[in-house]
Chains A and B, each alone.
Chain A
Amino acid sequence: MRKAFLVTLLFVLITCLSFATITSQTVASSLGMVSAANPYAAEVGAKILEEGGNALDAAIAVSYALGVVEPYASGLGGEGYAIISLASGEKYAVDFKAMTPAIATYEKLAELGTKISNVRYTPKGALVPGIPAGTQKIWELGATMPMADLINPSIELARNGIIVNDTFAGVVSDGYEKLLENAPEFLNDGLAWESGDLFKNEALADTLEILAAEGVESFYKGTLAKNIAEFMKENEGFITAEDMADYEAYVKEPIHGTYRGYDLYVPHPPVSGPQLIAVMNLLENFNLSAMSWDDPLAVHIIQQALVLEDVDRKFYISDPEFHTLPVEGFISKEFAKMRFMKIDLTKAMDPNTYFDNVGDAFVFDNGENYESVLLAEANKEAKSQEDIYESPSTTHFSVVDKYGNSVAWTQTISSFWGTSNFLDGYFFNNEIGNFASSFRPGDIINLTPGMRVRTTICPTIIEKDGQVKYVIGTPGGGRIISTVVQLIVDLIDFDMPIDQAVKTPKFVGYSSYKDVRIESGYPAETLEVLEKVLGHKIKEYTYPDLYFGGPNIISVENDGMMIGMGSVRRNGAASAPEM
């Protein structure tokens, strides 16, 4: 008896010791890697890998965990997109973007005497959430562990609590007024959560237990769906039980592009995959590696490329189920040559003329070359586009396992706190704010029932010679593509290790900004050339600033060693099974 007891004790001890993970801002391991915006979430994923789960298992677990530890940036009430690369060679783009409810129209808003800008922080601002459906769809694509096992770590986190970090405390402080009005039960006895506090979310733990026990279907057709429908009815939201039941996540092959011999796998519209490919195609025409990251000419070229393709994005990216989009033309190398010709190396484009320079991607949709298009005359009317504020919220994580599977996953509730309405322990997205504020003829982002609204997220997997090299992505609203592009250029053109690529100060090229928003850390001379010689207007932010996003990325070296780097701007972390 005593011997049996000792053997059992030894077994338990060995088992506990063997479930060891290492979590830090930068981590190296050949046993798998998770990089996420919060160390708790990263560790949840690493533990799943440690237990023998694959990248899909770990990614699903991280998704749920982020809803617990970063309730302001994503969660059950949110949406997202994931790019998956399996060891078998199969690749998937999983769209779990939020869907517009059937009664959400401009006419309905007008009938209620309101408009989009007035409902962003009310239940009407919420679109049908997609994250739970996304996790289910991804599970079906190749997860190996029971879904309940992937949700359980989040139940524990929510029940036992987490220590609030500076980012969490800061975001609570910024959103305090809305939270006090719409979600007082979330607060700490009516006060803002502070760094060092123990934050528990019993309501979310209960909700996750229902999900684990009854399956994701409970969120769309069962107990949790009923709660959502009742809440919306009582609070004059648009989402109905029918909307919830109608929701589904989509799976496609990712869009494929190339950059200097690397293969890029990116999402489809209505998110920014094609825009990223378009920017990289344009930059490929410049010999960036002959410059350095802080060379004013490199900054100028990249910034102008970002602006040009952001202008194009506003005309060519929306929900492809509702609009005909020239995706093939937009991502073509020939279209990029036309855009390359627009960059003046001697001076910045006048911001007042950005929308006079929309590229015509449609003509390239049928494989035209740029010479023939150049020779054809085109009269273009100056176009205009509404400025839609894009919040720096959202969260991104990257996962690579030891079997050769990778996942790049970005999820969000749109603004931090979304609508700020709190139900069953989570917040609802307020994606309605990404539609045009009022109907405009011909606009591809008019509010439309069933539609998934355009946003700028862009989880990306980069391969070389068939092997995953980088898994990247970032939050940051309108700054997302700027940060992702700079990461790619820093990694590929400037040959930076990933920690340097993440830490290097960032800048933004965005058609809604007339200035170049840039983190401090560039040499004074670089800024002076940009301003005085090239004519840019510079707005400098003290480094590091959350405004520029929070990339959580992984690189895979030639010898199979994975290096994960968590965001320096947002208390991010990498975590891996210990070697």
Chain B
Amino acid sequence: MKKILILFLMVSLIFTAIAAEKIAFEQPILITSGGQSPGALQMKVLAKASKLDYVFEKTISAADFDSGNYKTLIVVIGASGKGLGAAGIDIDAEVARVESLCQKAKEDGVKVALFQIEGGSRRGTSTDLIIDTLAPYADAVFFKLDGNEDGKFTQLEADYPIYFESFEKTSNVKSILKDNFAN
């Protein structure tokens, strides 16, 4: 029963996303990672392919974030122990970093878009912690469908009246960027 309900909500979400107006994010864009998984690097590849005006900084701090230079902050969420280790940062510090970035963005009128592009394979306690921490700051959330099998993003959409859009394959993000971010 629960599965049917979740499926129904997911389908509703898809149609809602299709039916809803596209949200418009402006450039230039700062792209950063939330959790240091490879997803952020994939976003960089996608942004380049979409010919966006962007800067990619995987571990930028709020102190180094010159918000006057950007219209949009994209945080690509996915926690990776390997990535955090390579960056010399633990999960608590990472959560604090991206939260303070989003805080500064909101204070300075920079729109915040959250992306979860690695789907179910990158969902876990740490990733969810980042999602939950950043959701209050987001203007939009874009997520891979197989990352919503437990209804996580469906529930988030119910909790936050912001723009949500899902996609099936990571390569679909290219269209999302062109439709919503090439302004």
Contacts and interface: CB of A to CB of B under 8 A. Distances in A.
A194 interface: yes
Given A173-B121, A188-B171, A192-B42, 6 more contacts: A166-B121, A176-B42, A180-B45, A189-B171, A191-B170, A192-B38
Contacts of A195: 121
A194 B170 contact: yes
Interface in B120-144: 121-122
A195 B146 CA distance: 11
9 contacts: A173-B118, A173-B122, A177-B41, A189-B49, A192-B38, A192-B42, A192-B170, A194-B119, A194-B170
Contact of B46 (A174, A176, A191): A191
B22 interface: no
Interface in B94-122: 118-119, 121-122
B152 interface: no
A60 B102 CA distance: 55
Which of the listed residues B38, B41, B122 has the most CB atoms from chain A within 10 Å of its own CB?
A: B38
A190 B48 CA distance: 11
Nearest to A170: B121
Nearest to A187: B45
A343 interface: no
Given A166-B121, A191-B45, A191-B46, A174 B38 contact: yes
Given A166-B121, A169-B121, A170-B121, A194 B169 contact: yes
A191 to B, nearest CB: 5
A25 to B, nearest CB: 21
B38 A176 contact: yes
A191 B42 contact: yes
A170 B37 CA distance: 12
Contacts of B38: 173-174, 176-177, 192
Nearest to B45: A190
A249 B46 CA distance: 45
Interface string A164-190: 001001100110110010000000111
Tell me what chain B mostly uses at the interface: helix, strand, loop, or mixed: helix
B51 interface: no
A570 to B, nearest CB: 15
A39 to B, nearest CB: 20
Contacts of B41: 176-177, 180
Q: How large is the interface on B (under 10, 10 to 19, 20 to 34, 35 or more residues)?
A: 10 to 19
The 4 closest A-B pairs by CB, nearest first: A176-B38, A190-B45, A191-B170, A173-B38
Nearest to B173: A191
Given A169-B121, A194-B169, A174 B82 contact: yes
A420 to B, nearest CB: 13
A170 B82 CA distance: 13
A188 B121 CA distance: 18
Q: How large is the interface on A (under 10, 10 to 19, 20 to 34, 35 or more residues)?
A: 10 to 19
A540 B46 CA distance: 38
Contacts of B46: 191
Nearest to B37: A173
Interface in A331-361: none
A169 B46 CA distance: 18
Contact of A190 (B49, B119, B169): B49
Interface string A188-211: 111110110000000000000000
Contact of B171 (A166, A169, A180, A191): A191
Nearest to B122: A173
Nearest to A174: B82
A161 to B, nearest CB: 16
Contacts of A176: 38, 41-42
A166 B118 CA distance: 12
A174 B83 CA distance: 9
A149 B150 CA distance: 47
Contacts of A190: 45, 49
A188 B38 CA distance: 14
A166 B170 CA distance: 15
Interface in A142-166: 166
A492 to B, nearest CB: 37
A180 B122 CA distance: 19
A194 B171 CA distance: 10
B84 to A, nearest CB: 13
A298 B119 CA distance: 41
Contacts of B122: 173
Contacts of A191: 42, 45-46, 170-171
A173 B45 CA distance: 14
Interface string B40-57: 011001100100000000
Nearest to B83: A177
Nearest to A166: B121
B155 to A, nearest CB: 24
Contacts of A173: 37-38, 118, 121-122
Contacts of A180: 41, 45
Contacts of B49: 189-190
A69 B38 CA distance: 22
A312 to B, nearest CB: 31
A177 B121 CA distance: 17
Contacts of A169: 121
Interface in B20-41: 37-38, 41
A177 B86 CA distance: 12
Nearest to B82: A174
Nearest to B86: A177
B118 to A, nearest CB: 7
Interface string B46-80: 10010000000000000000000000000000000
Contacts of B82: 174
Contacts of A194: 119, 169-170
A191 B171 CA distance: 7
Contacts of A174: 38, 82
A80 B122 CA distance: 32
A135 B38 CA distance: 36
A176 B119 CA distance: 15
A192 B45 CA distance: 11
A553 B82 CA distance: 31
Which of the listed residues A166, A177, A191 has the most CB atoms from chain B within 10 Å of its own CB?
A: A191
Interface in A343-394: none
A293 B72 CA distance: 57
A456 to B, nearest CB: 22
Nearest to B44: A180
Which of the listed residues A166, A188, A190 has the most CB atoms from chain B within 10 Å of its own CB?
A: A190
B129 to A, nearest CB: 18
A253 to B, nearest CB: 42
Interface string B150-174: 0000000000000000000111000
Contacts of B118: 173
Nearest to A197: B169
B144 to A, nearest CB: 9
